[in-house]
């Protein structure tokens, strides 16, 4: 931690105990001034760990954690099968999503639907969410603090869906989810593992990029074949 984890906890209004003689949150156990041990930050409980789908959706609907709440028409939570085996993660709502309150309903969404069909999945069979739940004005890239404020929501969605495979669309989604600055070209073609549960993640290009660069569709198709093969190696979930 990692500053990212600290931001996450701060965004959730969780107090973090740190030694005053340590300017940065460190690794290993922090010790309270009284000398009594407290949990290392990375082991502190997830603030949303017991949040239900309904509670989470309500929290997101009323969220004012970052400035994006003042420019949004509405939040865009996520859509699809709440127990999907495949979870699709994009960047942030655009104008169409901001209007309709559902992820990937614009032109990029139409292409995503075709991609999913090509994989053999109707849209309703997967769960689709974004890193950000509010539209950045003018479709600019999400700022790091905006992504940090929203991260606990996405983390809880992933926990609740408990997917066997996560398909991450585009550089912004991939870098935020995997907490890396590695370029997307290098993130493609590898199986990544997310968090303690080591959830498999495959990265591919964003459908909006494919609309601008249709010649890259072949690479996306390769990524999907890779993801399907990796999925076939995952263990089925217990009922």
Residues in 77-106 at the binding interface with ligand URA, rule: CB under 6 A:
90-94, 97, 103-104
Residues in 19-58 at the binding interface with ligand URA, rule: CB under 6 A:
none
Residue with the shortest CB distance to ligand URA: 90
Query: How many residues sit close enough to ligand URA to count as binding (CB under 6 A)?
Result: 12
Nearer to ligand URA, 135 or 164 (CB): 135
Tell me which residue of 12, 49, 17, 21 sits closest to 31, measured CA to CA. Answer: 17
Nearer to ligand URA, 94 or 152 (CB): 94
Residues in 180-209 at the binding interface with ligand URA, rule: CB under 6 A:
208
Nearer to ligand URA, 9 or 202 (CB): 202
Provide the minimum distance between the beta carbon of 135 and ligand URA in the complex, in angstroms, as a whole number: 9
Structure tokens at 203: 């990265």
Nearer to ligand URA, 109 or 152 (CB): 109
Provide the minimum distance between the beta carbon of 112 and ligand URA in the complex, in angstroms, as a whole number: 8
Nearer to ligand URA, 92 or 134 (CB): 92
Provide the minimum distance between the beta carbon of 117 and ligand URA in the complex, in angstroms, as a whole number: 18
Residues in 118-137 at the binding interface with ligand URA, rule: CB under 6 A:
130
User: What is the binding site for ligand URA (CB under 6 A)?
Assistant: 90-94, 97, 103-104, 108-109, 130, 208
């Amino acid at each position: 931690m990692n500053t990212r984890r600290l931001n996450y906890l701060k965004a959730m209004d969780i107090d973090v105990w740190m030694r005053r003689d340590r300017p940065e949150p460190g690794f290993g156990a922090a010790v309270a001034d009284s000398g009594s041990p407290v949990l290392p930050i990375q082991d502190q409980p997830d603030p949303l760990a017991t949040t239900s789908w309904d509670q989470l959706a309500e929290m997101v609907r009323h969220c004012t954690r970052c400035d994006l709440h003042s420019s949004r028409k509405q939040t865009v939570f996520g859509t699809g099968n709440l127990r999907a085996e495949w979870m699709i993660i994009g960047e942030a709502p655009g104008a169409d999503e901001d209007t309709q309150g559902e992820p990937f309903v614009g032109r990029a969404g139409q292409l995503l639907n075709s991609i999913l069909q090509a994989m053999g999945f109707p849209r309703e069979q997967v769960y689709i969410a974004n890193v950000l739940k509010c539209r950045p004005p003018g479709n600019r890239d999400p700022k790091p603090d905006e992504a940090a404020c929203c991260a606990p929501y996405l983390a809880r969605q992933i926990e609740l869906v408990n997917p066997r495979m996560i398909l991450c669309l585009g550089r912004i989604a991939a870098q935020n989810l995997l907490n890396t600055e590695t370029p997307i070209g290098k993130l493609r073609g590898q199986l990544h593992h997310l968090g303690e549960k080591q959830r498999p993640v495959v990265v591919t290009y964003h459908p909006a990029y494919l609309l601008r660069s249709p010649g890259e569709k072949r690479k996306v198709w390769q990524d999907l074949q890779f993801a399907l093969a990796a999925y076939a190696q995952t263990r089925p979930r217990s009922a």
